[in-house]
Amino acid sequence: MRTGIFPGSFDPLTFGHLDIIRRSKNICDKLIIAIAKNSEKNSLFSLQERLEMINTCCHDISSFLDVVFFDTLVVDYCKSNGVNVIIRGIRSVSDYEYEKTIADLNRKLAPDIETVFLLAGNEISFISSHVVKEAANYHGDISALVPQFVSDKIRQKFRQI
């Protein structure tokens, strides 16, 4: 059985993340979605809220997924958990350059762990958690950027602030 890991902040989950998650079924039999604990500071949503978003929006493929938190280098998490494929999305040239740096470092630290890239679908390549938060901050319509469940949570959050 091939297990892959998709690490990130997911603050919040977007249609971009969902695209990568669903397309990962072509690469592995099980996908670990790993939420970085260190992204807690300065985050909009708590770790638990982000976990809930993923579980709710992916309930139809729940047997394919494990959602976890992690607090180490991704490659060290992989070694400890017998995972050898990291999955990442690329949306732009600057994403490519950033991901290349991390992939080169990871290969140096753990040559047996492979990083595999999917290119974001072109219709959604402009979506990022950052763009979602910026748009929401100015009361923009974010229904094309995130699932309904997430946009409801964002609206609640900005009402509180």
Site residues for a second copy per CB under 8 A:
2, 23, 26-27, 71-73, 75-76, 84-85, 90, 92-94, 96-97, 99-105, 107-109, 114-119, 121-123, 125-126, 128, 131, 135, 138-141, 144-145
Classify residue 95 by burial, with Cβ atoms within 10 Å: 0-12, 13-18, 19+. Answer: middle
Whether 129 sits among the annotated catalytic residues: the reply is: yes
Give the closest residue to 121 by CA, choosing from 30, 17, 26.
17
Residue 14 vs 43, nearer CB to a second copy? 14
Whether 159 sits among the annotated catalytic residues: the reply is: no
Determine how many CB atoms are found less than 10 A away from the CB of residue 105: 12
> Phi and psi for 118 in degrees, rounded to 5?
-115, 140
Residue 116 vs 148, nearer CB to a second copy? 116
Taking the C-alpha atoms of residue 153 and residue 156, their distance in angstroms, rounded to an integer, is 5
Residue 2 vs 155, nearer CB to a second copy? 2
Q: How far is the CB of 99 from a second copy (least distance, A)?
A: 7
Whether 91 sits among the annotated catalytic residues: the reply is: yes
Q: How far is the CB of 50 from a second copy (least distance, A)?
A: 20
Residues paired with residue 114 on neighbouring β-strands, in sequence order: 85
3-state secondary structure of 67: strand
Six-digit token pair at 46? 């708590």
Q: How far is the CB of 51 from a second copy (least distance, A)?
A: 21
Active site residues: 17, 41, 91, 129
